[in-house]
Structure 1
């Protein structure tokens, strides 16, 4: 065992979205003498691959996941005398996080474990914000009888663990069970607010929603030490992809890709721009305009039954497997919307990071009378009827072709839209004008000569 080495155990199961951010926060710590052990429960996304790309060498696989068993296996593979246990979706807030944990655990020989503060993300639910802000306060405390302990952000001594391992069989609260056992041996537990992490979900569930919202707002005003976490766009690799089938239509004698390129390239956040096309002339035009071409797409992706999801899933595989390029976020955009506002893509990226959604797209509020045709002669009304607009709930019409931001893990499942969707309302109606073919382009060019 190595005396001053800290072994950081991270348990994962499909944490592709968070693991890179987590590891990068660890690598920025002022305390540099550490190792990372990833204990993975056979993730079927890119969690392990991403961890390896960020420098993690020790990977432990666990088939039948139990939280205590996973920690024990990670410690068995470690070499440090001090063990940090960190959730993959917890992000250390500052560069002294590891130093503070190390100093706290060594401040008293009777301390067996120390757990740190957890701060909600800006997009955490009201329940989770309430729970985290109530439980993880600003006063440190020594626990001699209270067995509350939290392994999302903690440090323990290896010699104490060798005396009492974590329970291998329980489904949860392995941390509190362990703390209860070590307290019986006259050890102590400590909570410190000095080693905070951002954590997007809480430790309890449920509650009256209106009362919950009020309580949360009050607590957030009182708690000023750490503001809710917001992820910077620079932490993600953002790839914009424009699928184009065949020849590009022209608008006012300018092809639509060139017409839209100014608004696309004006983004301050996008890292790379690709066109996914089946046409060599279109690929050449795209390259001349500054777009990259990963590969001409296969002919089976241009059939009437092929979907945008099929194209994106194929394109992502080419990027990852053939070009060794691993974006975190895919931005879908179509040339059929040539009038999008030049700030729109960056607005959508901000909304994506602040909302915590799987997918974000622009939407317009519609108050018109609307029906959905379920079958022939069977119409279902969607709006609330002829009532004043100020009292009427709008229909939100999403426009993925105008710009759709989604995680690569969603694309990999052959989908463009994840389970949690955020619709970003925009009021620029001109952006929604769609040009799907040359006839549309000619008609709009004639009707709007000054556009």
Structure 2
């Protein structure tokens, strides 16, 4: 590749509004590029979540706007930048590799005078919807092309020369497709547009909408078979070993034991077997408990007395603890809540829980026990059955008993809102009823004592249901 020794300076303009789920992953990849002479401008439209706090952990310039027009937002970002080339990147687009910028830029090195803009390939995430997968795979193919008449252009992943932008900025009045409007203008002036498939980004959303489910699912299956390089993967920074996942273990009072088994120590040991957990943090109002935790090599946060008052939930405690933790560790992707009074967990349980959370794209994933028994709840009209009647088990749909204390992992953006469960919840099915035991009263202590004495060999038993 015949590049000059020093790359032209590039300004990456990222538009945001409540993008805390994506912004860290996006910025990590932007700052990992082979093109190092880069500045980043974040143009934020009144985010109400943690987007700006997370963005400020990187060396970025932030521009805040009150009213959003896509072209105006990009123009505002480019105006405060200094790069010879401006890159437009959506905050929820994650560059696939370190040569993303280099592959955009090389098109100008080859024919700088006649190329108005370059846009790159967008590929769906593993858990993007069927419609979005179909749209992205159809629109963004594998062949590079130079467009002389076609005005398709996409500012989720594009690059333009600053000198041309100064003469032909983006339209500041249109409410969408500012990229297509701009492309029409430059094509009319005799310029060309390049589609560069090797400048790839992961994009969660598609670019079209609706259509029948059967039609788009069939199309997706065909397109996934055609695109052998697409396997429904995730960006590297989304994968379990790269996320900043912490485990909170709150308890009230002194540590409970069953005979000689210290239940807190047992839980800490179980958590340590999971390679995906960055930190284990014990939360307690007792200095003796905090000291014990620190001696065992885990972190400790002292719970304030107000969180022990009636009406205060575990969600209040986790919200408080995350706020304290992030004073020293500002980037937390997910929080694992664990109740130490559940002594029994399958081998590899926390790894399996975290992997299901990551690869399904859920907001929360919890352990659950499949149950075919009959349950009722008492409502305004008396007792009402949950589930189905006395059908044979083979004909019934099961009811799932949520075991949040056994393990519940949730995106940190919900914990910051005081919520333990997000909007989209996945279940990790537990096969053995032993794992439902919670040492909360003398009866269950006796049952736990029996199993602790036996310590059944669980490795030979099926632990997770499909």
TM-score, length of structure 2 as denominator length: 0.91
Three-state SS of the structure 1 residue aligned to 2:255 is coil
Determine if contact 1:267/1:342 at 8 Å carries over to the other structure: no
User: Paired residue for 1:76, among 64, 79, 84?
Assistant: 79
* Residue matched to 1:286: 293
Determine if contact 2:7/2:35 at 8 Å carries over to the other structure: no
Three-state SS of the structure 1 residue aligned to 2:56 is helix
Three-state SS of the structure 2 residue aligned to 1:418 is coil
Deviations 1:122-146 (A, max 9, x none): 1111111111001001122222222
* Residue matched to 1:327: 332
Determine if contact 1:248/1:282 at 8 Å carries over to the other structure: yes
State the alpha-carbon separation in 2 of the partners of residues 219 and 379 from structure 1. 50
* Residue matched to 2:274: 267
State the alpha-carbon separation in 2 of the partners of residues 64 and 336 from structure 1. 50
* Residue matched to 1:189: 193
Determine if contact 1:250/1:441 at 8 Å carries over to the other structure: no
State the alpha-carbon separation in 2 of the partners of residues 267 and 256 from structure 1. 18
State the alpha-carbon separation in 2 of the partners of residues 428 and 111 from structure 1. 63
* Residue matched to 2:150: 146
State the alpha-carbon separation in 1 of the partners of residues 450 and 40 from structure 2. 63
Q: By how many angstroms is 1:304 displaced?
A: 2.7
* Residue matched to 2:233: 229
> Is 400-409 or 246-255 further displaced after alignment?
246-255
Three-state SS of the structure 2 residue aligned to 1:371 is strand
Q: By how many angstroms is 1:111 displaced?
A: 1.5
Q: How does 1:354-369 map to 2 (within 5 A)?
A: 354-369=359-374
State the alpha-carbon separation in 2 of the partners of residues 426 and 408 from structure 1. 24
Q: By how many angstroms is 1:439 displaced?
A: 5.1
User: Paired residue for 2:43, among 33, 39, 46?
Assistant: 39
Distance 1:355 1:443, change over 3 A: closer
State the alpha-carbon separation in 2 of the partners of residues 189 and 251 from structure 1. 70
Q: By how many angstroms is 1:324 displaced?
A: 4.4
* Residue matched to 1:303: 309
Q: By how many angstroms is 1:443 displaced?
A: 4.8
* Residue matched to 2:160: 156
Determine whether 1:391 maps to 2:368: no
Three-state SS of the structure 1 residue aligned to 2:24 is helix
Q: By how many angstroms is 1:448 displaced?
A: 6.9
Determine if contact 2:241/2:275 at 8 Å carries over to the other structure: no
Determine whether 1:111 maps to 2:115: yes
* Residue matched to 2:54: 50
Deviations 1:161-198 (A, max 9, x none): 11221121222211111112222212222212111111
* Residue matched to 2:139: 135
State the alpha-carbon separation in 2 of the partners of residues 447 and 422 from structure 1. 29
State the alpha-carbon separation in 2 of the partners of residues 341 and 331 from structure 1. 16
Three-state SS of the structure 1 residue aligned to 2:350 is helix
Three-state SS of the structure 1 residue aligned to 2:241 is helix
Q: By how many angstroms is 1:260 displaced?
A: 2.4
Q: By how many angstroms is 1:237 displaced?
A: 1.2
> Is 437-446 or 386-395 further displaced after alignment?
437-446
Determine if contact 2:245/2:332 at 8 Å carries over to the other structure: yes
Aligned length: 446
Three-state SS of the structure 2 residue aligned to 1:399 is strand
User: Paired residue for 1:85, among 88, 101, 104?
Assistant: 88
Three-state SS of the structure 1 residue aligned to 2:277 is coil
**Consecutive unaligned residues in structure 2, runs of 5 or more:** 1-5, 456-466
CA RMSD of aligned residues (A): 1.9
Q: By how many angstroms is 1:153 displaced?
A: 0.6
Determine if contact 1:365/1:394 at 8 Å carries over to the other structure: yes
**Consecutive unaligned residues in structure 1, runs of 5 or more:** none
Three-state SS of the structure 1 residue aligned to 2:454 is coil
Deviations 1:355-414 (A, max 9, x none): 111111112222222222213x61222212222333322222221111111111111101
Q: By how many angstroms is 1:447 displaced?
A: 7.7
Q: By how many angstroms is 1:43 displaced?
A: 1.8
> Is 381-390 or 58-67 further displaced after alignment?
381-390
* Residue matched to 2:464: none
